[in-house]
Structure 1
Amino acid sequence: MIKILVVDDHNLVGEGTKLILEQEKDFNVTFVNSSKKALDILLTHTFDVFIFDLNMPQLNGQELAKEVSKISPKSSIIIYTGYDIEPHFNKLVSSGVSSFVDKVASKEILIAAIRASLEGNSMMPINLLQQLKIPDNSINILEGYHLLKKYNLSKDEVETLKLVMAEKTNKEIAAELFISLRTVEYRLTNIFKKLNVNSRISAIKKIEEIAKLTK
């Protein structure tokens, strides 16, 4: 039997997903409605596949995936959500997620994603594949340690600065990084101070100048 754990903070959705998946004769499905319960059940049970919602209280899907990957590194993790996955794609992959399924997708797609993940394959929407591209040099420079060393920026600040370079608003940055708007503003204040600039535009220009010097 293929043992599956579904985690969704909406009981109706979670129970519905469980019922759909249990129509497959070789699926044994457990549903819990919180990330905490998911981690608790892993103390006594093992699973082959995990299906997580993205936006949940306590630990969101990305944070839960990261914790579960430590406990059960060989298991497959699928994000099953109605939220836009694209802004969180890189973080989710780094956290151990192997496939992504939209909640409006058919049950056949969800089932196919489960079976594909067990074979070591991934399923994702085309728009996520299109995100897998080489960034231009002005953003790529932030992937390394140049700014970390020269300007003493923290990794969180570099991550925030990358989104500033991508012309994201403070609100969009907060949503993508799962942080508060106040935290974004605090990080930007520190970034501007360390770069010796006083605005987003000035910060972007400075990064572009650094990028030119490193070509």
Structure 2
Amino acid sequence: MTPSDGGKSIQPRIVVLISGSGTNLQALIDSATAADYPGRIVGVGSNRPDAGGLERAQRAGIETFVIDHTQYDNRESFDAALIRKLEKLTPDLVVLAGFMRILTDDLVRYFRGRLINIHPSILPNYQGLKTHARALEAGDTVHGTSVHFVTEELDGGPIIAQAEVPVLENDTDQTLGARVQAREHVLYPIIVRWFCEGRINLGPDDEVLFDGEPIPAILTLPADVYQ
């Protein structure tokens, strides 16, 4: 349930950070149009002025902003500017949706428990880039995507949920990536909704709490969710 003030529901405020076309952003925007949606996307930001996802947000009437990383001398000054902007938007949740920046420890600690990311692999496999090609090169039979809280370790924060896809015999990194992305478009809105409903939290020892209890194993949504 969302918090309330004098009987009036207060929707958690969501800011989404992107670097590219924003297909996961679009899935989140579409999900947020539901009448019973428990949160509100109040801003979409990018480190790239030409990110196509900014137009998606503008069409949906969502405030957008750009903090161009090429205008900063180092990661620390860029992240300091990003923190200042995010502070003005007062987010309850910051969602990384294809935000291609390695964040500094200061920013990660500042938003601890309010910062989540989606990564195109079954973590801890294939942290970093080119995950689909690496899965094919390794001969994997299963690939997928993971949603996790962000910590100081790159793609290494506590995992909230994962979704698997089979690797087909004739797959290329493009075809495999397309199927993984389709799973992302379903998985991420579910996790964001759960966070806004207060069902998911990051515990004091970096454990994922679901309905107030540590999850005994990583949540894996059943295949019929995607039908």
Alignment TM-score > 0.5, same fold: no
Superposition TM-score tier, normalisation by shorter sequence: 0.3 to 0.5
Larger Rg: 1
Higher RCO, Cα 8 Å, sep 6+: 2
Report the TM-score when normalising by structure 2.
0.33
